[in-house]
Amino acid sequence: GNSVTQMEGPVTLSEEAFLTINCTYTATGYPSLFWYVQYPGEGLQLLLKATKADDKGSNKGFEATYRKETTSFHLEKGSVQVSDSAVYFCALSTSGTYKYIFGTGTRLKVLA
Rg of the chain over Cα atoms, rounded to whole angstroms, equals 13
Residue of 46, 53, 82, 111 interacting with another protein (CB under 8 A): 46
Question: Of the two residues 34 and 62, which places its CB atom closer to another protein in the complex?
Answer: 34
Residue 90 belongs to what H/E stretch? strand 86-93
* Count of beta carbons in the 10 Å neighbourhood of residue 102: 16
Site for another protein in 64-103 (CB under 8 A): 89, 91, 93-103
Is 40 a binder of another protein (CB under 8 A)?
Answer: no
Residue 55's H or E segment, with its range, is none
Q: Which residues bind another protein (CB under 8 A)?
A: 4, 32, 34, 36, 41-46, 49, 51, 89, 91, 93-105
